[in-house]
Structure 1
């Protein structure tokens, strides 16, 4: 009988020990709820901190989006204009002076097997263009008078904005086609008017749209090859020959162009590929993209500092809460994970805002620039990933600091 209370105590003790619940694990949903509760409780501070992250992400997404749209536009241009156009021009003679292409340079180029078409232009010396004969002769506006072959427009993939191109009839008469910039400089927006060209009156029959592969022609007043020789003193030597060939034969044609145009002095001939300028523009754009991405990364770093500051203040303000949770059995890892989750959610929300803002900026810029809007998928993943990473790094120290607080110290400080 005397042993009954002892047995009962032991039994009760053992029952009480076995019935005490173990330390519960927090489900991911609970962590997210706790993190959102921390953000909702301090909305102004959370919004300002997320805004810092969002600006950095928006800068990165906008830059990559604009770059993608720009590249798409240039690639479309290259596709439409073709990369098989080569130009032949005069180089230097042995004395360092300006050489001249032979008068029959176009015919020589056309004899090359893979060549599909060839055309030429020639600068007319000592001939200027004026809106009328009353203009000061020194105010020529840098407009060049250029003799052209009739098949030039098709060879360079040019287009007329207004009017008509030169034909076998008008090429023998005082008719002129103006480049886009030349027409703007002269204040002419429609054909049918006359200009004073080389001391004679010429009638404007057409105005060209801007020419991507031959931008020099935008500032030219183009007349027929024959009228240039008979009325303006043109010597008949082309200054630029344009040639198109099969895409697969461009390199081979390029290697023999100089020898074909001037067999006696091929070193006095220069050969270039206009589409290379567009390719170089793509490379230049890539350099600027890297620069702006660096600026976006700096903005993201500043935003990360703001998140870290917010989380440090949050830990200090919520000291009693941390102490109570630790006293109720929360482990250090759970406290650390809670505050780390809060920091990641804060940065993630800022990242989502930055992605939306960056896409809006890049889309608007593309539409204003008449580029095809592009959705830069890598930029979206990069932006969100960078935001989450910045939040995790920025929140680690405050979360670790909160986890190290002892329950007794925290509760005493909260009283």
Structure 2
């Protein structure tokens, strides 16, 4: 008996017991589907975040009091670090040979008002000259903030398209004044819409000069610095130059740790991949349990099948079928059963991932390694858990099998 004949007999047995076969496949289907769906979602998310972070500037890094804090212990170690000040930014200007731009920045949330209209949850930020290059912002109408705006602490602002549309429907917002906090600010520019990121609008903001922001907050405040290196290759040199100057300003001795943080896009990407790696491990764990249950069910069903078909096995052996033929038949049947569940799980997982990507702001991309993993796991489950029932069937004595009722 060749493999084709064994496969035909196996498929015939599966078709003859449709309901039992479907119930048997559920564990395999759920396990494979969860792996495909989650890994496709994670794959799409990784690509999306990588693209966004790299587009944000692979040669841009950020300086703030804390850096990347990923645990409570890490926060406790840096919570008393001194603030980054505008004076720190001024000290760096022109002193970093491997940087082209140093932009001071700070932010808060508040409400933007114009007459009887208001927009809540607005990102209100103070930015130094050059912020438009750092953030890759394009002006739709008007102009960006200038160095003169900052030096003279002018009460002017640039707003996102969403603010312009909600406060000034059908109007040109330029040169109108909106209220941010207790002050009125003249709108001098509207930025081209950037859309949503992870479901959050990127166009619900108002930007004012950084030194004007000090008055807005009524305090010296806590600032950060965005620094653009000459190119990606210059990043380590630019970071070291910044570190040397800030350590000198803070009178840190050799051997003392930095009391400020430097963050790059690669740092953020590493943290994100660590998080999605955790999701991957949990998913594999859940899927493994489901597949184990599915495998045990397949083994039990195949044992029942061997018992039900004992007389059939005896007839086949009496007609010349060898142990190897019976073993192959039942192994192929178990593997076919498991692969069928895997195929349904793959199709369901891909469909679920694409549906989630279509209905949510988060992207999904079919993970072909996960599809390959699904096929391999399905085949492996069938062979492993089908081996014992196949061995039992192959060892049946033909005379005893023919007597079986």
| SS of structure 2 residue aligned to 1:131 | strand
Corresponding position: 1:113 with 2:97: yes
| SS of structure 2 residue aligned to 1:273 | strand
- Which residue pairs with 1:270 in the alignment? 260
State whether residues 103 and 130 of structure 2, in contact with CA within 8 Å, keep that contact through their aligned partners in structure 1: yes
Q: C-alpha distance in 2, partners of 1:399/1:97? A: 68
The TM-score normalised by the length of structure 2 is: 0.78
Corresponding position: 1:55 with 2:30: yes
State whether residues 122 and 236 of structure 1, in contact with CA within 8 Å, keep that contact through their aligned partners in structure 2: no
Shift of 1:389: 1.0
Shift of 1:278: 3.1
Q: C-alpha distance in 2, partners of 1:45/1:354? A: 17
- Which residue pairs with 1:258 in the alignment? 243
Corresponding position: 1:241 with 2:212: no
Corresponding position: 1:223 with 2:208: yes
Moved more, 369-378 or 110-119: 369-378
- Which residue pairs with 2:185 in the alignment? 202
* Structure 1 unaligned regions, length at least 5: 1-25
Shift of 1:167: 4.5
Name which of 158, 175, 184 aligns with 1:177: 158
| SS of structure 2 residue aligned to 1:202 | strand
- Which residue pairs with 1:7 in the alignment? none
- Which residue pairs with 2:276 in the alignment? 285
State whether residues 161 and 190 of structure 2, in contact with CA within 8 Å, keep that contact through their aligned partners in structure 1: no
Q: C-alpha distance in 2, partners of 1:141/1:177? A: 17
Corresponding position: 1:34 with 2:35: no
Q: C-alpha distance in 1, partners of 2:247/2:23? A: 70
State whether residues 176 and 206 of structure 1, in contact with CA within 8 Å, keep that contact through their aligned partners in structure 2: no
Corresponding position: 1:314 with 2:296: no
Q: C-alpha distance in 2, partners of 1:365/1:167? A: 43
Name which of 85, 88, 97 aligns with 1:101: 85
Shift of 1:154: 1.2
Count of aligned pairs between the two proteins:
376
| SS of structure 2 residue aligned to 1:329 | coil
Name which of 110, 128, 144 aligns with 1:149: 128
State whether residues 122 and 204 of structure 2, in contact with CA within 8 Å, keep that contact through their aligned partners in structure 1: yes
Q: C-alpha distance in 2, partners of 1:120/1:211? A: 25
Moved more, 351-360 or 161-170: 161-170
Which residues in structure 2 correspond to 1:14-33 (within 5 Å)? 26-33=1-8
| SS of structure 1 residue aligned to 2:404 | helix
Moved more, 233-242 or 304-313: 233-242
- Which residue pairs with 1:43 in the alignment? 18
- Which residue pairs with 1:69 in the alignment? 44
Q: C-alpha distance in 1, partners of 2:222/2:94? A: 15
Shift of 1:121: 2.4
Q: C-alpha distance in 1, partners of 2:299/2:12? A: 18
Question: Could you say what the CA RMSD is over the residues aligned between the two structures, in angstroms?
Answer: 4.0
Name which of 342, 359, 372 aligns with 2:350: 359
Structure with larger Rg: 1
Shift of 1:168: 6.4
Corresponding position: 1:166 with 2:145: yes
Corresponding position: 1:82 with 2:57: yes
Q: C-alpha distance in 2, partners of 1:319/1:67? A: 47
Shift of 1:53: 1.4
Q: C-alpha distance in 2, partners of 1:288/1:55? A: 17
The TM-score normalised by the length of structure 1 is: 0.76
Shift of 1:156: 3.2
Q: C-alpha distance in 1, partners of 2:123/2:15? A: 68
- Which residue pairs with 1:339 in the alignment? 330
Q: C-alpha distance in 2, partners of 1:316/1:304? A: 19
State whether residues 161 and 209 of structure 1, in contact with CA within 8 Å, keep that contact through their aligned partners in structure 2: no
* Structure 2 unaligned regions, length at least 5: 67-79, 253-257
Shift of 1:162: 8.5
| SS of structure 2 residue aligned to 1:399 | helix
The verdict on how the C-alpha distance between 1:147 and 1:389 changes in structure 2, with shifts beyond 3 A counting, is closer
State whether residues 334 and 383 of structure 2, in contact with CA within 8 Å, keep that contact through their aligned partners in structure 1: yes
Q: C-alpha distance in 2, partners of 1:49/1:257? A: 63
Shift of 1:256: 2.0
Moved more, 201-210 or 27-36: 201-210
Shift of 1:180: 9.1
Q: C-alpha distance in 2, partners of 1:189/1:301? A: 60
Shift of 1:365: 2.5
